[in-house]
Structure 1
């Protein structure tokens, strides 16, 4: 095993995964309910799964979709596809049949792996595409096999969340992922022997790469969680002595509600998302929970993790910034405030969409993220909001994410989304769409506008409020502001 020119110890993901038996032997690799696999057993199962895919006609470069929740079989299938020389296409489990069919069809997948009956539905596939039950004996029916592949071959095509149109398939190769998530392991403090509970879905970059692949790089035990349930997570943390638990801020809010914090005593490291997080939450996590490290970062499907906080960062830094760029990654702010990213981790392009690729990556190699940001005095990146969401009120730039953060401080507001609407005098003004917390938390439009005037500059104050029972969300849980418009 020699270092590649890009800094990774391996050329391909299968080369790394198939080495875990030698590196970590009979330590536990995956624990999923009653199923407990050692690293050696996992390697055997991955090789056999690769043989099954090979024997069923999956050739080098062929794509296989996985439309299923987190499980041991998901991991074996994904690494099996890669070991057979195929390309993994994870599909969002929140998608409805038509949404999934669109992604599967456009990806050109030769087969779809599903988990029958998950969330009460059986997933179909487009006509002519075989559907394979992950929980059947399919993955165990082949002869061990390993294809010859290169680090520059495409490893996965992960579809964007599609808040502004149809999801686009992001192509990444083996070397990009290996180099980036070896560094991620260091910065997130993932260690050999860690017991890593993964609530982030495997169909996301975080769940697959900062989750499954990172665990294989380091020799951590994976505990896949198919559906987040706070009580079940706490039980698992206590019973299995979980040490690593990344997740969204809501996960840490849930942990802070646990009456007996001794049940969480094993937790050491966490990582949370790039949304603006209350400083008080980070302080409480450090003071009331056993975490020694809690990192924050920023990334997107098109380039993986671009920035991460560093050990020793203050509560304020972790809560209000997303850290500094990873090694070999450049981040700069364009004249209009957009965050641009350049480096080895930027995608190989969108599948079958050269026009969208050219729009996303300019001639100098800069990926235009669509996010607005700024660097603080210490060189840490702060995300302000989405470029397409920004609106201009009488010459002043208004950022919905910032206004939403203010409005969420109102005791009666459960959820909020802000957009710009046309105004004769000002050009545009803000409109807030609000979901209230409960019947006892009635709040009027006039009250909320007046409350806002005391807390933010006049141009930021919404001029109108629309009350909704719920906000329109896409399958990744992001608000679909185009529907609000």
Structure 2
């Protein structure tokens, strides 16, 4: 019986070792075939689209800037903002250098965001302008950040993700499939939120198994709409990362 992940055999050894590629390996595999195709699209209201090659270029640029700022493999990077290509670039750039993504709900109270950011010992913060401006920037966790960048909204004091650049760009950090990729804070049913620690294999295997057999059939001609919040594992995995796996286009709904 054939499976969706059988195609990985042709890339194993060249792009990755082990059973599953990392999320960045998966992106690079797709870019090698569908680099010219539309990857990320947003309407502002005019249509703005990045190809897969442009996505990789932006991820490399931002990832290199993170490395230059002192963010290291295993460091926690908090991302908090509405759905946008910038959100996705921040997510992938964090993984580019082997750091760990901590996506938070952009509608949670500032006090909870501050508490969770301190709990994970955040090294860097990507957030929409209005979120950053609402934070108590005198708190120890914020003062200890290696840097901060806005996703949506311009600020006089904080550089936008689009302006991040390093003196020297760096290649992605090769990661074992069991390396930690993300910490997702679930809605607390018995108190405070619980941090679920997901490896690259946890996430990538879900992406491949979701499109195996009868469950889902996608190709590079499809368009997926990221309407649900990207900090939720469902939208991030089943829309953003599934689109990346197939070379499909991801359109970002920014109302959430």
TM above 0.5, one fold? Answer: yes
- Larger of the two Rg values belongs to structure: 1
Give, in angstroms, the shift of residue 112 of structure 1: 1.4
Q: CA RMSD in A?
A: 1.9
Aligned to 1:152: 178
Question: How many angstroms apart in 2 are the aligned matches of 1:123 and 1:15?
Answer: 36
Question: How many angstroms apart in 2 are the aligned matches of 1:122 and 1:211?
Answer: 30
Aligned to 2:33: 23
Give, in angstroms, the shift of residue 2 of structure 1: 1.6
Give, in angstroms, the shift of residue 98 of structure 1: 0.3
Distance 1:26-1:153 versus aligned 2 partners, 3 A rule: same
Question: How many angstroms apart in 2 are the aligned matches of 1:18 and 1:49?
Answer: 16
Q: Is the 8 A contact 1:114 1:123 kept in 2?
A: no
Question: How many angstroms apart in 2 are the aligned matches of 1:50 and 1:38?
Answer: 18
Q: Is the 8 A contact 1:47 1:83 kept in 2?
A: yes
Alignment counterpart, residue 238 of structure 2, candidates 210, 224, 227: 210
Aligned to 1:185: 211
Where 2:181 maps in the other structure, the secondary structure is: strand
Aligned to 1:2: 12
When structure 1 is superposed on structure 2, of 181-190 and 101-110 the one drifting more is 181-190
Give, in angstroms, the shift of residue 181 of structure 1: 1.1
Alignment counterpart, residue 113 of structure 2, candidates 100, 104, 109: 100
**TM-score, scaled to structure 1:** 0.44
Give, in angstroms, the shift of residue 5 of structure 1: 5.2
Question: How many angstroms apart in 2 are the aligned matches of 1:170 and 1:117?
Answer: 27
Question: How many angstroms apart in 2 are the aligned matches of 1:162 and 1:101?
Answer: 17
Which structure is richer in relative contact order (CA contacts within 8 A, separation 6 or more)? 2
Structure 1: which 5+ runs fail to align? 229-485
Residues 56-455 of structure 1 correspond to what in structure 2 (within 5 A)? 56-117=69-130, 122-124=133-135, 126-127=139-140, 128=143, 129=145, 130-135=147-152, 136-139=159-162, 140-142=164-166, 143-145=168-170, 146-186=172-212, 187-227=215-255
Question: How many angstroms apart in 2 are the aligned matches of 1:196 and 1:180?
Answer: 17
Aligned to 1:242: none
User: What is the aligned residue count?
Assistant: 223
Question: How many angstroms apart in 1 are the aligned matches of 2:223 and 2:161?
Answer: 28
Q: Which of the two has greater helix per residue?
A: 2
CA-to-partner distance for each residue in 1:261-289, whole Å, 9 max, x for gaps?
xxxxxxxxxxxxxxxxxxxxxxxxxxxxx
CA-to-partner distance for each residue in 1:41-67, whole Å, 9 max, x for gaps?
111111111101100111010010001
Q: Which of the two has greater strand per residue?
A: 1
Question: How many angstroms apart in 2 are the aligned matches of 1:191 and 1:183?
Answer: 15
Where 1:70 maps in the other structure, the secondary structure is: coil
CA-to-partner distance for each residue in 1:362-420, whole Å, 9 max, x for gaps?
xxxxxxxxxxxxxxxxxxxxxxxxxxxxxxxxxxxxxxxxxxxxxxxxxxxxxxxxxxx
Give, in angstroms, the shift of residue 17 of structure 1: 1.1
Give, in angstroms, the shift of residue 123 of structure 1: 4.1
Q: Is the 8 A contact 2:30 2:246 kept in 1?
A: no
Give, in angstroms, the shift of residue 210 of structure 1: 1.4
**TM-score, scaled to structure 2:** 0.81
CA-to-partner distance for each residue in 1:23-54, whole Å, 9 max, x for gaps?
21211001112421011111111111110110
Give, in angstroms, the shift of residue 148 of structure 1: 2.7
Where 1:170 maps in the other structure, the secondary structure is: strand
Give, in angstroms, the shift of residue 21 of structure 1: 2.0
1:46 aligns with 2:59: yes
Q: Is the 8 A contact 1:185 1:218 kept in 2?
A: no
Structure 2: which 5+ runs fail to align? 1-10, 153-158
Question: How many angstroms apart in 1 are the aligned matches of 2:169 and 2:160?
Answer: 15
Where 2:129 maps in the other structure, the secondary structure is: coil
Distance 1:149-1:131 versus aligned 2 partners, 3 A rule: same
Aligned to 2:24: 14
